[in-house]
Structure 1
Amino acid sequence: MRINNNAMALNTYGNLTRAGESQAKSMEKLSSGLRINKAGDDAAGLAISEKMRGQIRGLGQASRNAQDGISMIQTAEGALSETHSILQRMRELVVQSNNDTNTTADKTSIQEELTQLAGEVDGIAGRTEFNGKNLLQGTVGLKLDAADNGTLDGGALTGYTVDVSQATAGKTYTFAHTNDTAVVSLSDGTTSQNITLSLAAGAYAAGEVLDFDKLGVKITLGSAGTFGSDGGAEFLLAGKTLITEEDAALAGKASIQIGANSGQTLDITIGDMRATALGSTAAPAFALNGVNVTTQTFTDNLAVIDQAMTDVSNERSKLGAYQNRLEHTINNLNTSGENLTAAESRIRDVDMAKEMMTMTKNNILQQAAQAMLAQANQAPQGVLQLLR
C-alpha cells in the first residue's frame, strides 16, 4: 500500500475532468443551438459551412436584385401603358382629320392636340426614372464593356466607356453615322485616357492607324474598305473586330445580378421611347414628333403612328418577358436558398435531442466520478491501521 501516490484517485479525477469538459461542451452547443461553435469542434465542417453561408447570402441578395429588376421593369411598362393610350388618341385624331367636313381651322386645332400629345410622349420618356436612372430614353446602363457585343452611336458617344483591357476576341462593336467624331474612354484598369476617333466617309487601306496610340492600344484597319453611307468597313481594335453599320441604334443595357456568383447576370435593354424615335422605321421619312395633319398625308401620318404603336407594343412585350423570367428566377433562387440552408443546418446546427442525451450521460458520469473520487481518497487511510 502506498500513500504518496493514490493511483485510484488520480484515475478517477481524470474521468471526472473529462466528464466535466464534455458536459461543458454539451451545454455550449445546447445554449447556442450550434454543433460547431469554433473551428476546433469540426474544422472541415466549419470550412464547408462558411462557404455555404456565403452562397446562401449571395442567393438572398440575388433574389432581392431580381425583385428590384422587376420593380424597374414595372415602372417602365406602366409608363409605356400611358404612351400606348396617347398613341391611340393620336391615331383617332389623325383619322378624324381626314374627314373633308373639317375646315382648316379644325385641322389646326387637331394638330395642336397632336403636338401636345407628342410632347407628352417625350415627357413620359424623360420623367420615367427608377432610382435616379432614366428608363425610356435608350440610356439604361450606358457602360459598354469590350467583352460584350454592342453599338456605339457616333453622335452620342461622349462619356461612355469601352474597357479595352478586357476585350475578348471575336466581339463586335458598331460606330454609326459618317463624318462624326466619337470620344472614347480607354482604360487599362489603372489609368484612363480619352481618344478622339474621326470616321470620315471614304476609303481606307489595310493596316492604317487611326491617328492615336493610347495606353498601348491602337485602332488599325484590318482590311481595305470604304466607310460611307452604306457602312460595312472593318476595323481592328488591338486584334478585336469593330464593324461600322449605318444608322445603328444605341440600346442602353442594365445588368441585373441574378446569381450568387460571377457571370450570373441578366442584361435588360429598353429602347428609346421618345417621340423622335417612335415610328421612325416606317416608310415616311419622319417619326412620331413629325406627325402633322396640315402638312403630311393621311397615309404617312397613319403609317408612322401605327409603327409607333408597334414599337411600344414590342417593347412592352419584351419587358413582360423579362418580368416573367425574373419571377421564375426569384422562385429558383428562393428554392436554392432553402435547400442550401437546410444543408448548412445539417452541418452546423446541433441535434438538440441527441446533445441533451449526451449531456445527461456526462452529468451522470460526473456525479459518479465525484462519488468514486471520495471513495478513492478514503483508501489510503487504511494504512493508519497498520501504524497503530
Structure 2
Amino acid sequence: MSSILNNLSAIGASRQLSISGNQLGQVIERLTTGKRINKASDDAAGLAIANKLGADIKVAGQAQRNTNDGVSYMQVADGTLDSVTQLLTRAAQLAQQAQTGTISDSNRANLDAEFQNIVKTMINIGHNTNFNGQAIFTSVPQTLTVAAGDYGILNLDMQVLSPDAVTALGITTSNNLLTIGGAGTVAGLLTTALASVSTMRASIGASEQQLNATSDVLGIQVQNFTAAMSQIQDANIADEVVNLTKFQILQQSGTSALSKSNQNAQQVLALLQ
C-alpha cells in the first residue's frame, strides 16, 4: 500500500541504519580501548568475572611483593649474622690466645680490650639492625602475611627470628679475657655462640627458600589470572577490524537505502497528477 502518512520502508531502513550505527560505534570503542567489555551492557556476566579476576591479580601481585620483601628481610638478617660470625671467630681467636701461659697480664688486658669492643659491637648489631623500620633481632616473633581474604592465594605465616640474637649468644661485657680461667670460660661460650649463629643462619636459609618458592607460585597465579581476564575482557582486534569493515559498509548501504525509500514517497504524487 502506498501512503503519504507513513513511509514504512523508510522507517525500516532508518531503524536498521540506527542498529548498524550503534554496532559501528561499539566496534570503534573496542578498537580505541582495546577492551571487548567497556560497560556492563556489553557483557554483564563477563564484566563481573573480569572484575573478580582483576581483584585477584592485584591481591596476588601485592602478596608477591610482600614475599619478596620477606626475602630481602631474610637477606639482611643473614648478612648481619655473617658479620656476627666473623666477630665471634675473631673473639674465639683472642680467647684462645689469652689462655696460653706465655703472655703477660698486660697482654691479656690488650686482648680483652679488643674482645670488649667485639661484644659491644655485637650488642649494637642486635639492638639496631632494622629493615624498613622493623627490628630484625627481637624476642617478638615476626609474621609475614602474603595473602588475605578468599582469593585462593597461598597463605604463609612464619616466625622469622624469635629469640633475641645477642641474648641467645650468652656473651656480655661481664665476660673478660683478663685471666686464663676467664679466657677458658669465654672460649666455651664462643663455641656455643658460633653454633647458635649457624643454626640461625640455617633457619633463615630454609625460610628464604620457602619464600622464593612462594613468590614463584604467586607469580604463576598472577600470570594465569591475567590470561583468564584477558580472554574475557580484551577485544580480539582481528575480529573487530572485520566488524569495522562490515558495519561501515552497512552504514553506507543503509544510508543509500534510506535515501531510496524517501524517493519512493515522491511517486505517490504521480497519482495526483
| SS of equivalent residue, structure 1 residue 124 | helix
RMSD value, Cα: 1.7
Structure 1 unaligned spans of 5+: 139-250, 281-286
Alignment-derived partner of residue 177 in structure 2: 293
Question: What displacement does 1:386 show?
Answer: 2.0
Which residue, 261, 268, 291 being the options, matches 2:159?
268
Q: Is the Cα–Cα contact under 8 Å of residues 288 and 305 in structure 1 kept in the other structure?
A: no
Q: Is the Cα–Cα contact under 8 Å of residues 288 and 304 in structure 1 kept in the other structure?
A: no
Higher relative contact order (CA 8 A, sep 6+): 2
Please list the CA deviations of residues 22-78 of structure 1 after superposition, one character each: whole Å capped at 9, or x if unmatched. Answer: 101111111111111111111111111111111101111111111211121111211
Structure 2 unaligned spans of 5+: none
Q: Is the Cα–Cα contact under 8 Å of residues 257 and 265 in structure 1 kept in the other structure?
A: yes
1:156-175 superposed matches below 5 A: none
Please list the CA deviations of residues 255-275 of structure 1 after superposition, one character each: whole Å capped at 9, or x if unmatched. Answer: 22223536823323313111x
How far apart are the structure 1 equivalents of 2:135 and 2:268?
Answer: 97
Going by fraction, where is strand more abundant, 1 or 2?
1
Match status 1:359 vs 2:258: no
Alignment-derived partner of residue 247 in structure 1: none
1:88-103 superposed matches below 5 A: 88-103=89-104
Alignment-derived partner of residue 118 in structure 1: 119
1:211-290 superposed matches below 5 A: 251-261=139-149, 264-270=155-161, 271-274=163-166, 276-278=167-169, 280=170, 287-290=171-174
Which residue, 215, 218, 233 being the options, matches 1:330?
215
Q: Matched residue pairs, number? A: 267
How far apart are the structure 2 equivalents of 1:385 and 1:40?
Answer: 47
Question: What displacement does 1:334 show?
Answer: 1.2
Please list the CA deviations of residues 123-156 of structure 1 after superposition, one character each: whole Å capped at 9, or x if unmatched. Answer: 11122111222212x2xxxxxxxxxxxxxxxxxx
| SS of equivalent residue, structure 2 residue 157 | strand
Going by fraction, where is helix more abundant, 1 or 2?
2
How far apart are the structure 1 equivalents of 2:267 and 2:132?
Answer: 88
Structure 2 counterpart of 1:118, one-letter code: V
Match status 1:47 vs 2:48: yes
- Give the structure-1-normalised TM-score: 0.66
Identity %, equivalent residues = 32
